[in-house]
Amino acid sequence: MRKRLIAAVVAALGLMAAACGGSTTPTAPAAPITIGVSVSQTGDFSGDGKALVQGYDLWAQDINAKGGLNGHKVTMKYVDDTSSAQQVVTNYQNLITVDKVALVFGPFSSLLTIPASTVVARYNYAFPEPAGGGPHVFDRGLTNVFFVQPAAVEDNLVSYTKYLLSLPAGQRPASAAYATQDDPFTQPQVDKAKSLLEAGGIKTSYYKVYPAETTDFTPIALAVANSQADAVILGTQLPDAVAFPKTFVQQHYNPKTIIETTGPDQGAVFSGKLGANTDGIMVPAGWTPDAKAYGNDKFVSEFIAKYGGTSADISADAAEAYSVGQVVDQAAVKANSIDNAKLISTLHNGSYNTIQGPMSFDATGKPVGGVGVYIEQWQSGKAIFVYPATVASAPPEYPKKSWQ
């Protein structure tokens, strides 16, 4: 009788605890989710696309190792957009409506981000993206786009112009040549640099805007070389970033300074095509393997362990993609949700730590209050920060050394 009485009391206490929310039954784990991305696995941006995948995959590995995104284990789904503005729209529409992914991350380039963001906004998905910062990304009234880089694109070359204009008058370039793709990423940077340098007294000896679909850059590179300008400012993606210096080497044209909007920031993908002739080439950059930003040491060591090579081989694209994941992770924790509407609202508030430094976003998704864009230069086979002095690992090489 006594045993039955004790059992009854224990059972009653158990029911009371359950009614009061004190049950010790473990909570079921959150359901796994898929994050969809349109990436350029073929076409002009395929090198950049490969680097984005590396960065996204490394982030997914890290987030799953610590239990998932707000408890949800993550699988990445990639679809090739062939570097096409038409295909990228189809890809995101299918990822959202057919594959029903929980979240989407952005592609490479402003050229693809602009049409992609429109279709993503139609379905009220957040659109954190690593590589689309042209002015038209932000001027269409969208509230779901978040450009995860330290500064808007049109200001990328401002530091470079400040550096040139800070040189003593006798050393400053007397003339500059400009050539840029007709692209919403490259041309705004080059045009702003041109206006600032002209205002500072540096004469324009050549200016050319060429179609984005150009494949033979030799005639344009020859025209730049024939200008004999002291400074060369190029609005490039990776293919033309390699093609221009190759022509300059062949023509024995060695300007005092050369900067390209992208290409030199792509690590081994760039240096492997130019060898020692990478030295002296500059690029605007918000990330370098040596940066002391949040989590960067871990990112670099894990990247090398996963993909091989050295820190100098890591593309900035990979770092930018990884940063997208970092921002989304922190926003999900802050919102205690991966709901797209909640993520959009949360990302418009507060600051987020990334391997590119801290950043926050205005109402249009443009980054504000970040570390800004610095100048990186290849020296002795490695791309390092050279300007401003507060972040520089070495002073700028000026004039640049002769081609090898």
Percent of the chain with pLDDT over 90: 83
Q: What is the mean pLDDT of residues 198-215?
A: 97
The predicted-structure confidence for 362-389, as pLDDT tens digits, reads as follows: 999 999 865 568 899 999 999 999 999 9
Share of the chain above pLDDT 70, in %: 92
Q: Is the dihedral of CA 48, 54, 58, 64 positive or negative?
A: positive
Share the mean pLDDT of the chain. 91
Q: Give the residue from 391, 377, 381 showing the smallest Cα distance to 280.
A: 377
The contacts of residue 92 (CB under 8 Å, 6+ apart) are: 36, 38, 104, 116, 119, 120
Residue-wise pLDDT for 243-276, tens only, equals 999 999 999 999 999 999 999 998 999 999 999 9
Please compute the mean of the pLDDT values over residues 181-187 and round it to a whole number: 93
pLDDT for position 155? 87
Res 52 pLDDT > 90: yes
Which domains are seen in the chain, by residue range?
A: 33-153+293-368 (3.40.50.2300), 155-285+374-387 (3.40.50.2300)
Model confidence band, residue 91 (pLDDT cutoffs 50, 70, 90): very high
Read off the amino acid at residue 122: R
81 versus 151: the higher-pLDDT residue is 81
* Residue of 126, 187, 193 lying closest to 361 (CA atoms): 126
Q: Is 73 helix (H, G, I), strand (E, B) or coil?
A: coil
Q: For 390, how many CA atoms within 13 A lie in the half-sphere containing its CB? A: 5
Which residue would you say has higher pLDDT here, 27 or 80? Answer: 80
CA distance 356 to 322: 10
The pLDDT of residue 373 is 81
**pLDDT tier at 152 (50, 70, 90 boundaries)?**
confident
* pTM: predicted TM-score of the whole model, two decimal places: 0.81
Q: Residue 198 corresponds to which tokens in the numbers above?
A: 């002209």
Buried b (16+ CB within 10 A) or exposed e, 105-133: bbbbbbbbbbbbbebbbeeebbbbbbbbb
- In 3D space, the residue among 401, 114, 202 whose CA is nearest the CA of residue 282 turns out to be 401
At residue 24, the pLDDT reads 43
